[in-house]
Amino acid sequence: MSLEPLRHAVAGFTRLVDSTSDEARLLAEGRTLLGALVADDNWLPDLYAEPNPERYTQYLLWCDPLERFSVVSFVWGPGQTTPVHDHTVWGLVGVLRGAESCTGWSRSADGKLLRGDTHILKAGSVDAVSPTIGDMHEVANARSDAPSISIHVYGANIGRVHRHVYKPDGEVKSFISGYTERPLPNIWID
């Protein structure tokens, strides 16, 4: 198993954030980079593909030293789902294995939660979020009998970002996600 695809994506995102801070360009060119990474499901070490029976997990794969982007492996066990949440920075979600159900949400002027469309992201598909294009969503494993895994790239060290969870009754809670405890993969070894 070679981490070359991840190394290639990390180099690509580093060049991209070096070249622009324009969100539309970051999302468009980042979509191509992440699409190439999730087109190949032969590189993610098992250590970062392990579901936790209690809740979905997030393993940091890489963080830019200047925290301009991070790459995270999200693993959903059967039936696991996120709460409705936001990101506060741009983000790209690429499904590596299985399928995920994504529901967009928004808030009315008086704070009510408004449910948007649900779509299924299959392996190889990439979705985008950001405060500009829509930042609130809920993601669930679309498979009831097996884990699903997606690779996410965010425009910050996402595990340290202050963001929000939205409860059905309208309550908004701040949270910082952190990461599931794992050493970083060594992308320099084949």
Q: Is 162 annotated as a binding residue?
A: no
Strand arrangement, sheet containing 126-129:
57-63, 70-76, 148-154, 91-97, 126-129
Q: Is 85 annotated as a binding residue?
A: yes
> What Cα–Cα distance (Å) separates residue 74 from each residue in 65, 141, 190?
21, 10, 23
Using CA atoms, how far apart are residues 142 and 166, in angstroms rounded to an integer? 21
Q: What are phi and psi of 161, to 5 degrees?
A: -85, 135
Q: Is 87 annotated as a binding residue?
A: yes
Residue 165, CA atoms < 13 Å, CB-side half-sphere: 10
- Sort residue 61 into left (φ over 0), alpha (ψ -120 to 50) or beta: alpha
Regarding beta strands 126-129 and 99-107, do their DSSP bridges make them parallel or antiparallel, or are they unpaired? unpaired
Residue numbers belonging to the annotated binding site for Fe cation: 85, 87, 137
Instruction: Please state the residue numbers annotated as binding site.
Output: 85, 87, 137
